[in-house]
Amino acid sequence: MLVSHLLLTLSVNPSPLLMLFPFIWTAHGLLLTWPMHEVMRRTEGMQGAGRWLLAGLAVTALAGLQTLLDVHISSWVARNFVPPGEWAGLVFRTPQGESDAGPRISLMIYFWVFGCYAMADSLLLSQRRLIQAQGAAQRAELNALRLQLHPHFLFNALNSVSALIVTGRLEEADATAMNLAAFLRAALLADHAAAVTLADESEALQAYLDVERVRFGDRLVVEIDIQEGLYDVPMPAFLVQPLIENAIKHAVAPVARPVNVTLTARRSGDHMKLSVSDDGQGRLSAATGTGTGLRNIRERLMATYGAEASLTTSRGSEGFTATISLPIRH
């Protein structure tokens, strides 16, 4: 409505200000898409009809606001740029002679414009999230090669196997070599962009821990407590292993006494909470909440689940706890 009025007004009064006004109004319309984008972005983690209900309310509100501005600015243009008596010939009229149909038509047009923008923006956000997930998965795979398969880990594992052979503990050496091979196979062949079950993750962790137990002996005491019914819950591959590795590196390795490392999995509503805790000597903040491994886990959770998942850490006078909360999706 406003654009047609402006074009008709320019034919009566070709004011330089009016000639610039369509460009100003276009920029204003683009600015109004920002609230729509924010609504879609902030509700990205919502499931079901709730998100689209909010989007529908936002579309209706923005379409109404744009139409209201159209009406007021059209009136302002009429008062300031059109000679008295000539605006009547410029108003919007339907074939039935109605002169107030313009706002209703504008409301319908803007409703569809903002509605289409909301759907397009939702698709773009989903595409960006997928790209982020793929990028995070690729970084996780590189971390698996660089960190999980760190040369020090391989060296220590092979050194443990060698020591067992030298001391004549051949059966233990064979078992350790088999566990090392199982862990390496799981780390190298896992598709980090796809989901695995908690049972698969637990199996890979057991192989990793069996290798580390040979190195640390009685100093490494591990307890895995998984609630019944959670073994088939899907999750990103190698999500928990970096937390176990951190606990061994920062809590077990520095001390000579036994350290308890506990992995628990519990259902909390429609979420699963995975906690890795230790009763070691506690760690500095630089080694807890801001490490590369923890940062990578947060990036993967955000890329895969959005705001529905989180990683929280806490450190007491003795020990450290990291908890992953992720939605249960079958």
Phi, psi of 132, rounded to the nearest 5 degrees: -65, -40
Q: How confident is the model at residue 270 (pLDDT cuts 50, 70, 90)?
A: very high
Q: What is the mean pLDDT of residues 168-181?
A: 86
pLDDT of 3 reads: 47
> Do 118 and 55 touch, CB atoms closer than 8 A?
yes
The rounded mean pLDDT for the chain is 74
Q: What is the mean pLDDT of residues 186-197?
A: 70
Helix (H), strand (E) at residue 253: none
What's the angle, vertex CA 274, arms to CA 272 and CA 275, rounded to 5?
145
State yes or no: pLDDT of 257 exceeds 80. yes
pLDDT of 184 reads: 79
CA distance 28 to 166: 78
CA distance 11 to 26: 20
Question: Which residues have C-beta within 8 Å of that of residue 48, sequence separation ≥ 6?
Answer: none
- How many percent of the chain have pLDDT more than 70? 55
State yes or no: pLDDT of 296 exceeds 70. yes
Which domains are present in the chain?
A: 2-128 (no CATH), 149-327 (3.30.565.10)
pLDDT of 111 reads: 65
Q: What share of the chain is helix, strand, coil (3-state, %, to 5)?
A: 65, 15, 20
Closest CA to 241 of 153, 138, 134, 329: 153
Max mean pLDDT range (142-146, 192-196, 219-223, 253-257):
219-223
Q: What is the mean pLDDT of residues 102-108?
A: 61
Higher-confidence position of 191 and 270: 270
> Do 172 and 226 touch, CB atoms closer than 8 A?
no
Angle between the 151-166 and 198-216 helix axes, to the nearest 10 degrees?
60
C-alpha dihedral sign at 266, 268, 272, 276: negative
CA distance 236 to 194: 7
State yes or no: pLDDT of 325 exceeds 90. yes
- How many percent of the chain have pLDDT more than 90? 20
In this prediction the pTM is 0.55
State yes or no: pLDDT of 190 exceeds 60. yes
pLDDT of 288 reads: 46
Q: How many CB atoms lie within 10 A of CB 250?
A: 19
State yes or no: pLDDT of 255 exceeds 80. yes
Give tens-digit pLDDT for 47-81. Answer: 566 666 777 777 777 777 777 776 666 666 555 65
Q: What is the mean pLDDT of residues 251-272?
A: 92
